[in-house]
Chains A and B, each alone.
Chain A
C-alpha cells in the first residue's frame, strides 16, 4: 500500500516539476493522436455521410463490415502496418517503420471505422428528418451531405472524440509499428507499459494520471461546447 501511495506522490511530483522526459512523451502522444484524428476525421466524416445518403447493392454488407471494424484489435492493425512498412514489405522503401508517421498511419487506420460508422449513423438519422426538405429544394447529394455534416457538427464531435479516445489510449499498434524508441516513438501508453515492466511505478502512474486527465479534460470541453451550441442553435 505504501508503495502505491509513494508511487502516486512521486508521480504528482514529476507532473508538478514538469519533468522533461514526461513532457516529451506527452507531447509526442498528443501530436501523434491529434494528427491521426485530424486525418481520420477528414476522411471518415465525408465517407460516413456518403454512405448514409447512398443506396447501392451490398450497402448493408459495407455497413456491417464498417461497424465490425470498430472493434479492430490494435495489435492486428499494428501487425498489418508493420508488414506493409517493413523492409521486405510493399511500402518498405519509404522507411517509415519505427517512426511517428507509422504510428499516425496505424492510429488513423484504427479510428477511421469508428468515426465513419458513428458519422454514418448520425447522418442517416438526420437524413430521415431532413430528406424531404432537402429534396424539395433540389439539393444534390453533395449539397445534402455538406448541409447535414454542418448541421450535425456538434453531434459528430462525439464521434471524433470517440476516435481520439481510442487513438490516445491504444498501445498495441503503436508498440509494434513505433517500437517504443526513447525520444523518438515513445508515447504515453507504450511508456506506461515499459515503466511497469521495469518496476518504475511512479513514472507509469504519472503518465497514467496525465493520460486520464487529458482524456477527461478534452471530453469535458467537448461536452461543454456541444451543450452550449445545442442550447444556442436548437
Chain B
C-alpha cells in the first residue's frame, strides 16, 4: 500500500506544518514516509504545498503524479490541484476561503469550514490542524493520537502551542462523523 497526499495553500497558512505533522504521525506508526515541501521565494503570501507519501515498502518517487488525497486551503490551490487527484480520490477543501465546488464529478469532495472553526477557538492560525484533524478522521491513515503525540516532538517545550494545536486537531477530527 502506498498513499500520496498533497497539501496546498498560500504561505502563512501552515500548509507545510499540516503535512509535516501528518508525516511525523505516520513515522510514529513505523510507516515509511517521505515529506517533500515546495514553496515560493516569498516568506508569506506565495504558493506553498507539500507532498507526503506513506507506504509499507520503499517509496520510489516522493512526487505525486496522481495522489489519492488532496487538501486545499485556498482557491488558487483548488484550481491548480483538483485535476491531479486520482479518480475515486478525495479532495478536502477549506470552505471558509473557497466558495466554489470542484469541477470534477469522479472524486469525493469534503468541505470543512476550517477558517471559521479556528476563529471559534480563538486562533485563526490553527485552521491548518483543524483541516488535518478532519483529514485524519476521514482517511484513517494514521491514529489521531499519533498526530497529537507528534505535536509534542515538533513543538518540543512549547506547552501553549502544543495545547492549542492538539485542541485544533481534536476539533477537526470530531467535526466529521
* Bind each other: no
B-to-A contact residues, CB < 8 Å: none
